[in-house]
Structure 1
């Protein structure tokens, strides 16, 4: 349960009257406060700074903290899907504790994680592929814009590094549903504080973690092997988030060792089909590439990943919130199932190579990150070292309880439904759909044959069973179950 670790509930800090604790995470506490000048509620995110930080180093820490807050302000001003900051400062408590904080807009609603859990609790089916892609399109396009964000000194690559359902909020704003991304901010300041104090943010089993383990990309688990984080790290986080929305549950779980093993296992990727979600071959291929272990085999940026996913589902291309250098701004009508020929792919065939239609602009040569194509085994530290601004709120609080009003709450506002003719399943899709039903029905037929043979040869016509329960009942049940699954999959085909 979240607690008032700083002892500021009921106090007034500058213009903020602190009302209650909303949530607590490993790196900070979120409070609901009332802004007396604006006469409106706000969210205060207070950072847990090591008490051992010397006075002479606090100025350096505050400089980094200020830079992150300023960058978040510019980011949210240009990209509506990023939560908006209102103020940043430092609280000095009665006990002399040094508490940097940032005030953010207050949004009512639930996280995507809470939404997924609520559907499961009410026994509702998970989101369909088309529904999930339309819902998360603003998130994908906001990340694409952040990765090519214009700054005072030129374009800057701002990477989130901790994308997950708990950092995507669905909120009501003036009667409209809006999607917001949380926790773009103060990563460098937090890391600087941890290094200064001679400690890491989170340590478990000897592993230093500045990320959420269930959503950490391979390069976050093994940086010496896979190199630095970058836009490809957000591709991983967004892909895992989409798969969880489709599966209706967390897909990478267990202790830290088990989660790392799942992430780094090249033979089994956490794609939709591996998590029991039936999708066409082309969609599965896109996810296989987005969740590749080697970052050089992954999509290089979120925009290309989302373009491929929308095209695979026959959806019109969504547009980023700002004009991006080298980004084609073709209208949605130019996209669709017939926008480019696409051959059917098997499960083990990777997604197509990156498109040449999005070349990096010349002025971004020092900022754009270019990963070479893989040639042979991956050497350690082989990824490029161009500067990237890492913004990941690793101390983010957990999702609030269902029904609770959260400090932020992006809302669902999926684009209008697009009418399109259904595409019939391919022979490979039919084989995948009916594999389990055929096995169940076959097992029922086999049991029936065994039962009849044993009854006629060994038991003088007496059927096998225990008391009133007969083996034939099991056979009939399996056949009926197989038929039901086949009918359900056929009529729930979503292409």
Structure 2
């Protein structure tokens, strides 16, 4: 049973009469309360803010917390699958602690995690691929919309970063099951307060994390190696959630070292077939790409990932709840080598954006950087290894990164893991289109063809007109000219192929 750590059960906080504790986690406590003005139940999510937060910084923190709540309100207004906020304020707890909270719509039902566990407990088989994809389609399209959300100065990329079955709620609304995404955000608010208070927190295993370990992407486990988080992180979270629903159990488990080893193991990815689930080849390939260790080998767009999944199962293509910029229906990785498409920038000085609400879970704060995308080196450049700001920036970091990140060189790897000769890799060249190939080899083909035609004419003339004698001038015959044209054509083709910038 969750504990009433703030001692507010039975009290009235503004318009909210607090009834009972619903859940508690590392980030906060969720209460059920009664909204006396609306005469309806609501969920109060209260943050565990460090008591050492100085008084002069609380107002500054609340301003940033308000920005989080306002963005969440705009998200939920445009995207029905995002849980709706109703109010935000500060509770006057009996203990005298500083307790920011946000009131959310009350949902009847249970999380996807509970649904998976209950099916396993009663011996029911896991959900089928079609059932899982149909169930998660509102989540995928909601995330696609959030990654391209209209902002005051253009599209804004709002990333969840902690997608998991516990953050997907199967609500019963007017007799229908409606899927809702929980926790687009409060976790980073709590992290900001911790940074402002000058504190750090680590898990029991000594690892500092700001994510749920069983669902953390490689770039969350090893940001110095794989770069910052972004839409590709939600691709990972959605893929792991789908595989877990297909398997009917948690697929990444153990202590922190074991989970990190599973996530970063390039030889075995947690795809459906790796978990003993029979799926079509095309579907397995889509999940393998979505669960790639290197973020640049993953789908750059969660909508593109879901398009392939639906197509693999023969389902009609769904659409996001709002208009998003046009994109390729297949990820660039399907047409070229992985590093050929835009990739997340290297980790240092990259924006660590807030997740709007984050659910109770095994989490701890991480340093925050600036609110908007910071200046990065020119394409192909690398940042110095220790360029992360030493002074924490106070504002909550809304991720204003553009939805489609620009291509950068592979983040530098630690010298102990990779020899220096391999640390600078030129981007792989994408494969050429049919039209480009035809243009490149048009002249070589004509030369070689001319040589073949001349050879045939020479043979025909020699046999029909000159009694077997070849046409020529001195020692040089027409046949030699033909061979020279063929060799010249082949030489030009090889030269163009290996000297092309493409």
The match for 2:136 is 136
Answer yes or no: is the 8 Å Cα contact 1:272–1:279 preserved in 2: yes
Secondary structure of residue in 1 paired with 2:89? strand
**Contact 1:51–1:98 under 8 Å retained in 2:** yes
Q: Distance in 1 between matches of 2:201 and 2:335?
A: 38
Number of the residue aligned with 2:160: 160
How far residue 354 of structure 1 moved from its aligned partner, in angstroms, is 5.7
Deviations 1:138-184 (A, max 9, x none): 00000000000001232100000000000001011112210000000
CA contact (8 A) 2:139 2:179 kept: yes
Q: Which deviations, in whole Å up to 9, do the C-alpha atoms of 1:258-289 show, x marking residues without a partner?
A: 00000000001000011111111111111100
User: 2-side partners of 1:147 and 1:284: how far apart?
Assistant: 25
1:256 and 2:223 correspond: no
Residue matched to 2:436: none
Alignment partners' CA distance in 2, 1:81 and 1:145: 10
Q: Take 1:195 and 1:384, find their aligned partners in 2: how far apart are those partners?
A: 18
Tell me, yes or no, if the aligned pair for 2:116 and 2:245 is still in contact at 8 Å: yes
What is the CA deviation profile of residues 53-99 of structure 1, one whole-angstrom value per residue up to 9, with x for unaligned ones?
Answer: 00011112111110100000000000000000000000121221110
Classify the secondary structure of the residue corresponding to 1:180: strand
3-state SS of 1:268 partner: coil
Corresponding position of 2:355? 391
CA contact (8 A) 1:147 1:156 kept: yes
Pick the structure with greater CA Rg: 2
Cα 1:31–1:162 shift into 2, 3 Å:
same
**Residues 108, 102 of structure 1: CA spacing in aligned structure 2 closer, same or farther, 3 A cutoff?**
same
Q: TM-score, normalised by structure 2?
A: 0.68
Q: Which has the higher mean CA deviation after the structures are superposed, 70-79 or 90-99?
A: 90-99
Alignment partner of 1:88: what SS?
strand
Normalising by structure 1, what TM-score? 0.69
Residue matched to 2:226: 226
Q: For the Cα contact (< 8 Å) 1:230–1:388, is it kept in 2? A: no
Question: Distance between the aligned counterparts of 2:266 and 2:361, measured in 1?
Answer: 31
Give the deviation of 1:186 after TM superposition: 2.6
**Aligned pair in 2 of structure 1 residues 199, 284: CA closer, same or farther (>3 Å)?**
same
| CA distance in structure 2 between the aligned counterparts of 1:372 and 1:60, rounded to whole angstroms | 41
Query: Do 2:18 and 2:31's aligned partners in 1 also have CA atoms closer than 8 Å?
Result: yes
1:353 is paired with a residue whose SS is: helix
- Tell me the residue number matched to 2:112: 112
Deviation at 1:323? 1.0
Distance 1:69 1:201, change over 3 A: farther
Any gaps of 5 or more consecutive residues in structure 1?
Answer: 329-334, 341-350, 357-370, 399-495
Q: Please say if residues 46 and 102 of structure 1, whose CA atoms lie closer than 8 Å, have aligned partners that are also in contact.
A: yes
Q: Distance in 2 between matches of 1:61 and 1:70?
A: 14
* Secondary structure class of the residue paired with 1:207: coil
User: Which residue in 1 is equivalent to 2:333?
Assistant: 353
Contact 2:27 2:187 in 1 (8 A): no
Query: Superposition pairs for residues 297-446 of structure 1, below 5 Å?
Result: 297-326=297-326, 353=333, 373=340, 382=346, 389-391=353-355, 393-396=357-360
Q: How many pairs align?
A: 361
Q: CA RMSD in A?
A: 2.4
* Equivalence for 2:193: 193
Match of 1:26 in 2: 26
